[in-house]
Amino acid sequence: MPLPQATATRQRIHLRQISLEGWQRDDGHWDIEARLIDTKDHDYNLASGLRRQGDPVHDLWVRVTIDHRMTILDAAACSDSVPYPGSCDTIGPAYRQLIGLNLMQGFRRATAELFESVRGCSHLTELVNLLPTTAIQTFASLVNETDAPGPGQKPFQLDQCHALETSTETVQRYYPRWYRQSQQTGT
């Protein structure tokens, strides 16, 4: 179901495009890449100079290499277009601090601490926070979604969102082995 029709006449002035891609590598690891592009639908005066309509104000990239446990083995960030050249585009190396973090274990909390305030770029950090769900979708492409990763281990997507919480009807229907009755409702 799409959004309801806008109730007022309007004119777009800003476009943010975010794209994420998951890559399987020939060495048994995966790359997750994220890109953010901000453009204006008009000429835009910045303190650093005029940005012409359609020219990126931001064009930012993040890539992490992960193993099958979703631990980050390598990380890179770059800023191809920024509002303050020579300043914004110098923070990329700080994102190497992602190495060693696990996308599924306290990742967003750790990135908030690592890159809060002036220790990171708010836009790059926004991209970084999209990596876990993209990694899950990348892995989901490669396995039967009802299979467990190993003996006694539930499928990785269970208990990761409201629909796949293990006490829901969805889990009872599609993953009956992993269904558990809710403690709150007794169902």
Q: Confidence class of residue 47 from pLDDT cuts 50, 70 and 90?
A: very high
Is residue 9 predicted with pLDDT exceeding 60?
yes
| Span 27-36, pLDDT tens digits | 999 999 999 9
CA atoms within 13 Å, Cβ hemisphere of 68: 6
| Span 104-157, pLDDT tens digits | 999 999 999 999 999 999 999 999 999 999 999 998 877 665 565 666 777 777
Structural domain boundaries of the chain?
A: 14-142, 146-182
Q: Residue 165 has what pLDDT? A: 92
Q: Does pTM top 0.85 for this prediction?
A: no
**Which of 168 and 184 is assigned the larger pLDDT?**
168
| CATH code, 14-142 | 3.90.1010
Q: Map tokens 């004119």 to a residue.
A: 11
